[in-house]
Amino acid sequence: MHNPLAEQSSNDTANQSVAQLPQVTEPRNPGMELDLDWVARVQANTSAIERRCAALPARRSVKKEHQAAWLLKAVSCIDLTTLSGDDTEMRVGRLCAKARQPVNASVLAQLEMTGLTTGAVCVYHEMIPAAVRALVGTNIPVAAVSTGFPAGLSPLHLRIQEIKESVAAGAREIDIVISRRHVLTGDWQKLYDEMKDMRKACGDAHVKAILATGELGSLRNVARASLVCMMAGADFIKTSTGKESVNATLPVTLIMIRAIRDYFERTGYRIGYKPAGGISKAKDAITYLALMKEELGDRWLQPDLFRFGASSLLGDIERQLEHHLTGAYSASHRNPMG
């Protein structure tokens, strides 16, 4: 079996080329039979994971043009998101305009970067038609949160119907929420069956399984839930809805991407990863990208396999790019989301 870690190159080479890596289409994960023995063997050494993550930010600091390259890569991996109760078609339209032109054109010209967009636009079901209209002529997919987001406690048949209606409305990606109670009670068969039904309802749309890791009790539960969702056919596993008290963290990221690596080594299928919630600083984005590169290799630095669930992150990245070019930070209001 191909070892994804063998793809890693020197840190300098990665920094220089990270924004120009070619896009490759992966075969979708068909899933597999639930392997409860494999699930039971999964463990998590919490103290070792925390030590590894604590050392990463200082050890993987990058500067100047290398930093700019990593930040451009981060922009291409953002799911630009609005999930507010007061969302309107006008707000979604402005967000989509930002997705099409995420960084000031003059900044991109100085950096000799063309064709940069965000990875997707993520909205509630009601806003799908507005987003689809605003993104006509682009390859930017519309992602919709579904299945009783964020709690995921509505009846299963309604969650399945919601998925189908979002796909029919034009969503090319569906972010579903799992039933946390199945993880907390160790009912892996029920979690597998529900995830498999949701994957089937998505049809050709890719499905991101939101684990709500801050509510799963332990890193071991996170690892096991990640594995079960991949067995059931998830295309991505995602940390959080962004509505929990604890969202994406580096320890959770490490345990989830190692589960992705194990699944790839067993099956040959690459599963995507999406940290969501709480990532608002450019330096944090670089840390997450560095961790993906170290653990999974360059292939997982592409937007078809890695996304940030964020919006405020983009504003800080723009400020850092302007600082790289001018030596001064711009005011926050110069980089609005729409």
CA dihedral sign of residues 285, 336, 321, 120: positive
Catalytic residue, chosen from 175, 235, 284, 316, is 175
Cα(47)–Cα(6) distance, integer angstroms: 27
Task: With beta carbons less than 8 A apart as the criterion, state whether 247 and 278 touch.
Answer: yes
204 belongs to the catalytic site: no
164 belongs to the catalytic site: no
Cα(93)–Cα(89) distance, integer angstroms: 6
Cα(278)–Cα(214) distance, integer angstroms: 12
Catalytic residue, chosen from 79, 238, 284, 304, is 238
Cα(122)–Cα(145) distance, integer angstroms: 7
Q: β-strands 142-145, 120-123: how paired?
A: parallel
- Going by the DSSP 8-state scheme, the letter that residue 136 receives in this structure is T
Task: With beta carbons less than 8 A apart as the criterion, state whether 199 and 231 touch.
Answer: no
Catalytic residue, chosen from 73, 274, 284, 316, is 274
Strand order in the sheet with 173-177: 272-274, 236-238, 206-210, 173-177, 142-145, 120-123, 78-81, 308-310
The separation between CA 211 and the C-alpha centre of its own chain, rounded to angstroms, equals 12
274 belongs to the catalytic site: yes
Cα(329)–Cα(108) distance, integer angstroms: 16
Q: Which residues are catalytic?
A: 175, 238, 274
